[in-house]
Amino acid sequence: MMLVVLVSILMAGCNMQRLGADEYYVKIKGEGKLEEGFRYYTLKGYTSDGEDKEITFMSLKDNAGKLREDAYLRIYAKPKDKKAKQINEVTSYEEVKAEDVPSKAKEKLDAQ
């Protein structure tokens, strides 16, 4: 019984797509590329330590909507190869406030 309650509590506040994912931060520049009804962005993303990767992800907005220019996003990704310079396995993203972006990542994003 106790295990069921614990699992229920964890599941209620936990996004399974983010479990075990690495976090990267990007700043939206441009309108992405429209392909077959979906809008894709390829941007340079940074970890909280300032390490960079090229990240490709699809907009989740309705009707292939554009993301807000200069918005900061926290990207959750599960790269198959941690040493690769490119990531295509984005599991989730969310917009964050500028002050919530780690300083090393923000410094590099603002310099782009």
**All structural domains of the chain with their residue ranges:** 17-110
Residue 97 CA to residue 86 CA, distance in Å, equals 25
Residue 33 CA to residue 41 CA, distance in Å, equals 6
- pTM: predicted TM-score of the whole model, two decimal places: 0.79
What does the DSSP 8-state code read for residue 107? H
pLDDT tens, 16-64? 666 668 899 999 999 999 988 889 999 999 999 999 999 999 987 776 7
Query: The CATH number of 17-110 is which of 1.20.810.10, 2.40.50.480, 3.40.50.2300, 2.60.120.380?
Result: 2.40.50.480
Residue 77: CA atoms inside 13 Å, Cβ hemisphere, count? 28
